Amino acid sequence: ILPLVSVNQILLFLLVLTVCAILYNRVHQVPLALRNETVDLESPEEMEEEIPVVICAAAGRMGAAVAAISSIYSNTEANVLFYIVGLKTTIPHIRKWIENSKLKEIKFKVVEFNPMVLKGKIRQDASRPELLQPLNFVRFYLPLLIQKHEKVIYLDDDVIVQGDIQELYDTKLAPGHAAAFSDDCDLPSTHEMIRSVGMQNTYMGFLDYRKQAIRDLGISPSTCSFNPGVIVANVTEWKHQRITKQLEKWMQRNVEENLYSSTLGGGVATSPMLIVFHGKHSSINPMWHIRHLGWSPDARYSEQFLQEAKLLHWNGRYKPWDYPSVHTDLWENWFIPDPSGKFKLTRPDS
């Protein structure tokens, strides 16, 4: 029989050994969350998907871009990254405007667009020279401007966003589709407006069907057109299908053959997109592109309808920062005055 002292020593030794083992395991054991490789250790803010939104800031209408950005930023909790595209001469102005206003909190990158990429691709047309501005064609070159994103939203500057931009970003694109647009026949509420101002909503209104090259496309002239002022694009698919090269091909053919002009549908940037994306685009929820607000200084939508709209677009000649125009109060809610005083609203009493 072991002496009592020896037993106590053995028990004490085992107790110390057990405590050491427990402490060792606590210090060296890998927590479950770290051993599970599927767990993302980034903070919720870092995990949040970035929504890239491309908007152009053109000379003479920078207030439009500012109002559009303001409306988007104010109506979402999403992690939006604005790509603001301008020419070399206009970039300092828009940067100063943002950095010296309440928009200084937004995440943005200023991108310079080189108009030399358009050399030889735009047919001069005196009827609406504003449509030939280089930034009007930025939407053709989205993959060159946006490098790290799979999906991107492009918006014309003359829009106001009243909904959560996350909802537009979540638009589903069918497999093989590089972009989603709003069809011009999609919303019965806008049909009366289209009839009242004589606006075209078919391919006949944009392409010259007297030309053999257009007839050879095999597209019915009564096919519903779409508006590329709001685009949700799959950048990977766009590159894969070489969409930019296809658009440039039709621009060059128009220079040579005059296949479409601004005297038709009123958009020289729309026509090549109608050709390239015919039958190969997905659809945007109609309420995410209520348009034609700039088509007439008289024709108006009902206030209730406009309140329900997610996005308003003043496409046409009559812009909400100019006079005459309609529904300017809805636009001006989001306008931020130019700190430099260069951009001013045109109003009846100004």
Residuewise pLDDT in 10s, the chain (350 residues): 445 556 677 667 777 677 666 665 554 443 333 223 333 334 444 457 999 999 999 999 999 999 999 999 999 999 999 999 999 999 999 999 999 999 999 999 999 999 999 999 988 765 566 667 899 999 999 999 988 999 999 999 999 999 999 999 999 999 999 999 999 886 666 666 656 555 678 898 889 999 999 999 999 999 999 999 999 999 999 999 999 999 999 999 999 999 986 555 556 899 999 999 999 999 999 999 999 899 889 888 999 999 999 999 999 889 999 999 999 999 999 999 999 999 999 999 86
Q: Which domain holds residue 176?
A: 51-187+198-333
In a domain, 122, yes or no: yes
The CA distance from 151 to 345, in Å, is 34
In a domain, 248, yes or no: yes
In a domain, 156, yes or no: yes
Distance of CA 331 to the CA centre of its chain: 18
In a domain, 43, yes or no: no
Q: How many CB atoms lie within 10 A of CB 344?
A: 11
Q: Indicate which CATH number applies to the domain containing 78.
A: 3.90.550.10
In a domain, 103, yes or no: yes
In a domain, 346, yes or no: no
Rounded to 5°, angle at Cα 130 from 245 and 81 = 60
In a domain, 165, yes or no: yes
Q: Give DSSP secondary structure letters for 34-88.
A: HH-TT---S-HHHHSPEEEEEEE--TT-HHHHHHHHHHHHHT--SEEEEEEEE-T
In a domain, 20, yes or no: no
Angle subtended by helix axes 91-99 and 62-74, to nearest 10? 40
Q: How many domains does the chain have?
A: 1
The pTM score is: 0.84
